[in-house]
A and B are shown apart, each in its own frame.
Chain A
């Protein structure tokens, strides 16, 4: 299990490749990466991500441990960035490795659902029209009820 909270960019391809190595009993790797999405109007200049150092790492570790307890995983990876990002930049990635794809897919979705509303990150959008905090969405909270 590998949990990283960092300001620096990461190389998604290199991370996915490294993660897929060294597991001889693994038949499935699922990866997801989240990218800073520009507004429909194209007006997003930057997205600022704030987090709670200490609690963030603990919360991500707990979420990953829960996924490992629930599904048969050989490994799990979470990388989440903070700081000032531009549209098109990668914000975060998760990867899961298991014998069969069902466990890998479901665990990756679980990690994403919990990351959204249980890991202490907050996003602020800066654009031509000013700055605003991104509000949490009800459907993100509702997504947790399926687990």
Chain B
């Protein structure tokens, strides 16, 4: 699965994207896996209320299923316009 990071999430983790092997069934489980990896992930995911998530480029929430998902992206609230 491809995991993408944008804005300050990308800066805290230090990479824009990575491919990982995961058995996580939901976004929340994936976040727990990532948090446990290293401090930089724990820092980026310390407060998920400050984050948004997209699965296969569709905005969703942290309870969303990852069944069949190819791409998950984490980022702060968007500031377009």
Contacts and interface: CB of A to CB of B under 8 A. Distances in A.
Interface of A: 34, 50, 52, 54-55, 58-59, 80, 91-92, 112, 115-124, 133-136, 141
Contact of A55 (B54, B79, B81): B54
Given A50-B6, A91-B81, A120-B73, 20 more contacts: A34-B81, A52-B73, A52-B75, A54-B57, A59-B59, A92-B80, A117-B80, A118-B80, A119-B80, A119-B81, A120-B54, A121-B80, A121-B81, A122-B6, A122-B76, A123-B79, A133-B76, A135-B79, A136-B77, A141-B77
26 contacts: A34-B81, A50-B6, A52-B57, A52-B73, A55-B54, A80-B80, A92-B80, A92-B81, A115-B81, A116-B78, A116-B80, A116-B81, A117-B77, A117-B79, A118-B80, A119-B81, A120-B6, A120-B75, A120-B78, A120-B80, A122-B76, A122-B79, A123-B79, A124-B7, A133-B7, A133-B76
Contact of B79 (A52, A54, A116): A116
A117 B76 contact: no
Nearest to A54: B57
A50 B73 CA distance: 14
Q: Which label, helix, strand, loop or mixed, suits the secondary structure of the A interface?
A: mixed
B4 interface: yes
B1 to A, nearest CB: 16
Interface string B50-81: 00001001110000000000000101111111
